[in-house]
Amino acid sequence: MEAKIQKRSLGNSGLEVSAIGLGCMGMSFGYGTISDTKEMIALIRSAVESGVTFFDTAEVYGPYINEELVGEALEPFRGKVAIATKFGFNFQDGVNTGLNSRPENIRKVAEESLKRLRIDAIDLFYQHRVDPNVPIEDVAGAVKDLIQAGKVRHFGLSEAGVQIIRRAHAVQPVSALQSEYSLWWREPEEEIIPTLEELGIGFVPFSPLGKGFLTGKMDTSTTFDNKDFRSTVPRMSPENLKANMAFVDLISVVAQRKNVTPAQIALAWILAQKPWFVPIPGTTKLHRLQENLGAASVELSPDELLEINTASAGIAVQGERYSGGSAKMINR
């Protein structure tokens, strides 16, 4: 990478990170294979050298092994990068047994994550999923205590609705919301994004490449290993992939004209929406990392944005975002 990636501020929080972050989940969880640790450490360090300062993990990825990987990889760069991790689940013998955002569990997870990540303070600590059994005020209060104790710097929410965001923010300012957002999942535009703008909260889109779909590397014959969570995603069944190809065709046309890749158009589109959006595409491949980071220097003109928005508004997405079962697992 010749140019370093520009920085962005997540809302009014004072948390400044690279315009594109790196989602680390897939290195150890969710896609059927666990990648070679040495290779992944090298990949994460290459990201730092290319200007990435924002890395996303969670205790549930593995569980635990992804945080350990990120901690080892980023140890030489302590203080120079921001690490986001998440709480909100219960584990028995390494198996996720469901939601748990009780304050005592939040405190326990913070201590354990700090050790695995080899840091003194968690830069951004998200509630991974809203826990209907724990008032969000109690969750925000527990994180507020951790911030006052110097163990956490910023509070985040993931996939939370408007009322939860408002209630949490009233107790402890929320620095960022992480939710799925891409050209083929635009639901946050209705209520979530206007609320974030009003409250000065940053937005961190996950699956900005539609779990790989918007890269243009899949076709109607693409199948997934049964250990790959995408094998359960209705939107990625063969018949729905075929119907949804219209999205890929659309961005491919723009990409060819600009001499960039479909993935770069999909990421550049997100970056063009608001200056406080920071997508976190994940990858296990160095050439994909560099391709994704290249999106930061792709400029979409107002006309091109209008063209993409107009055309994509006319495409009806086929298939649900998650199957009922995997929503219980972790809708990632």
Q: Which residues are catalytic?
A: 61
* C-alpha span between 249 and 251 (Å, rounded): 6
Residue closest to 27 by CA, chosen among 219, 237, 280:
280
Q: Is the dihedral of CA 80, 151, 94, 227 positive or negative?
A: negative
Phi, psi of 97 (to 5 degrees): -105, 10
For the stretch 249-258, contacts whose Cβ atoms lie closer than 8 Å and that sit 24 or more positions apart, written own/partner, are 250/308, 250/311, 250/312, 250/315, 251/183, 251/214, 251/216, 251/308, 252/216, 254/300, 254/304, 254/307, 254/308, 255/216, 258/298, 258/304
- Using an 8 Å Cβ cutoff, are 155 and 140 in contact? yes
> Amino acid letter at 249?
D
